[in-house]
Amino acid sequence: MTAPDRPSSPLLVALLAALALAPAGTTAQTRPAASVGALPAAPHAAGRPPAPAPQATPAEEEEVTVKTNLDRPAVWVADRVTYTIEITCRRGVDILVDDLSPDKLKLVGLEVVSSDTARQAGSGDVIRYEFRYVLTTYRVDVPTLTIGPLPVRYYARREGERPADAAPAGTVRVPEAAIAFRSLLPDAQPSYPVRDSRPAAQRLLVYRILRPIGVGLIVLSIVPVGFMAIGLVRRARQGRRSTVRRSLRQTRQAARAALEEVRAADPATADARRAAFARLDALVRQHLSDVCGVPTPGLTPAEISTVLGACASRMPVDLASSVLTSCELARYAGPELLPSADAWRDTLTQAEQVLAAGR
């Protein structure tokens, strides 16, 4: 080795010796570890910011949500159960209501009695539907009554577009439901007789003794009631007879007074003659009712003649019918058919004969 190749000082020789004796990992430990945050970020593709990580949409933010409810878990024969479907539409979508019509329900052992629909628009472009179905069953051979799943289509709402013309945006599924059937009839029975063929159980001795005693008490209680009813009927008959007698006397007096008033009237004009005929008609009808006991105010002259056939011996039926016919003609006919003053005097004479009969 030449002079320039030798170390220039003893200090340099000592440093070289220390480096040669040091462990291999010492150099790595002395180097500071690079921080992750200190690393340079990779350049974005085409200068765009990184896309955010995908997040799961919560259930309450779905476009269409469905809830179902049954007001009872089990039914008997002919019981009623209310099945409710609640649908909530968001984000400007709506459902096809026809998909939830009663005939679309997939029923096993059930029948639809009635149905109704309610629609409510809420805040935030939210629409809520409530479909209520009243169901019943008349079958006993189905142990579990079921309502099958039902697909419901929904579409995006647009102004001026009919639901039938809109393109479907998706389908939501109404879950199935089950109702237990409970009956007092035994299971696995081939027929269901209305009555049992077994004889009725014999009553206890005390009830067999009490039955004739109860019947006797009922008979004893009926006897005084029967006597009381007989007494009331007798009194009513006696009172009716006395009332009829008094009414006949009063009727005769009233008939005479009314006849004198009608005779004193001078129906010179058409209106006065019509009013006189009306008073005479009422007077004759009342007399016929009092004498023959027939309700004549609501009968026509022809009907009165038929009804009064039983008392023709005491009452001139034909004459009374002629008087009532003239009175009806004067009351309801037109001015051209109104009876004259001579016809009034003739009718008054005939009415006097009718009122004089049966006294």
Question: The tokens of 284 are what?
Answer: 């004759």
Portion of the chain with pLDDT greater than 70, in percent: 72
pLDDT of residue 48: 42
Tokens at residue 228, please?
């009381």
Residue 190 or residue 62, greater confidence: 62
Global pTM value: 0.38
Highest mean pLDDT, choosing among 89-98, 247-256, 328-337: 89-98
The pLDDT of residue 175: 94
| Residue 230, token pair as written in the block | 């007989």
Distance CA 314, CA 307 (A): 14
Per-residue pLDDT, averaged over 73-84, amounts to 92
In this prediction, residue 57 carries a pLDDT of 40
Cα dihedral 326/328/332/333 (nearest 10):
-20
Kindly state the average pLDDT of the residues 176-182: 88
**Average pLDDT for residues 138-167, to the nearest whole number?**
82
Helix (H, G, I), strand (E, B) or coil at 83: strand
Instruction: Give the pLDDT of residue 27.
Output: 39
Which stretch of 38-42, 187-191, 252-256 has the lowest confidence by average pLDDT?
A: 38-42
Distance CA 237, CA 231 (A): 10
Q: Contact, 343 vs 326, CB < 8 A? A: yes
**Please, what sign has the CA dihedral across residues 48, 53, 54, 56?**
negative
Q: Is the pLDDT of residue 359 over 60?
A: no
pLDDT higher at 73 or 182: 73
pLDDT of 288 strictly over 50? yes
229 against 55, higher pLDDT: 229
- CA dist., res. 62 & res. 89, Å (int): 8
Q: How far apart are CA 172 and CA 105, in angstroms?
A: 15
Q: Under DSSP, is residue 166 helix (H, G, I), strand (E, B) or coil? A: coil
Q: What average pLDDT does the segment 242-251 reach?
A: 57
147 C-beta neighbours (distance < 10 Å), count:
24
